[in-house]
Amino acid sequence: MLKLFEHPLSPYAQKVKLALLEKGIEFTTELPDIFTGPNAAFKAANPRLEVPTLADGDTSVFDSTIILEYVEDKWPAPPLLPATPAARARVRMLEEVCDTYYEAINWGLYEIRFFKRAEGELADEMVARAGRQIAGVDAYLERALGGAAWFNGAGFGWGDLAVFPAVTAAEFNGFPPAPGSALADWHARAKARPSAERVVREAMESLAGFAELPGLVASGQFVREYRDHRLEWMLRTGGARIVMDGMAKGNIRFSAEMD
């Protein structure tokens, strides 16, 4: 059976789980231990030590987009990608926007609100800036949705599972789609799907114990990865001091170096 190394709060893992659930593919999940370090199986499957990683027998696949492509190639029915090249390019571009722009905003809000990287005036300024950024990307998504029921076209698919984790995280962070908007209506439809209900439920269940995390971050026991677009968001949204402080305290990291 497939094994997915994941964390329920990871939007990248969420979109892979949505794909597997929508296709009816059975899988198990494993959460790598963030305190004792990765086990041998996880390290062998992904030298970058990032979730999600899919283990399918002797085949290991990492990076959420590549995993989606692998799943679509191996289990083509029901299809998640639209039929035409133009439509496929369109949903892949939506995925790119959500993976590299929208995710970074939500991640930055978690850093401030949950992990207390900033407080007081700086935190207020960064949260307000994030709210404006979310409003902008939501407007883009609203235009991309147009009059369709789904980002994928006639039915739920690749475009929807790529957008859903980002919009859901923004809602959790206090920035839901504008009431009465097409995006809000789409989000309500998507949340009602059994696959989305499971993904959201597991994410909420994983929040148990989060109250302890600011202290663990401050002590350096819990180290957060500042990968490419996340670092960019921090720097351009006023968090340069947060980055320097985290590097000095050793509670932020960058992508793992391969050995």
Identify residue 192 by its one-letter amino acid code: A
* Residue-level pLDDT at 215: 77
* Average confidence (pLDDT) over 185-201: 98
* pLDDT reading at 35 higher than 70: no
Give the CA angle between residues 114, 52, 106 to the nearest 5°.
30
pLDDT tens profile 113-141: 989 999 999 999 999 999 999 999 999 99
Contact partners, residue 136, CB within 8 Å, separation at least 6: none
Least confident of 37-46, 119-128, 188-197, 203-212: 37-46
* Cβ count near 62 (within 10 Å): 19
Residues 6-16: tens digit of each pLDDT: 999 999 999 99
Whole-structure pTM value: 0.95
Please identify which residue in the block is written with the tokens 């402080």.
245
Identify the CATH homologous superfamily for domain 2-74.
Answer: Glutaredoxin (3.40.30.10)
pLDDT-wise least confident of 20-24, 48-52, 73-77, 99-103? 48-52
Mean pLDDT of all residues in 103-122 = 95
Question: What confidence tens digit (pLDDT) does each residue in 148-176 have?
Answer: 999 999 999 999 999 999 999 999 999 99
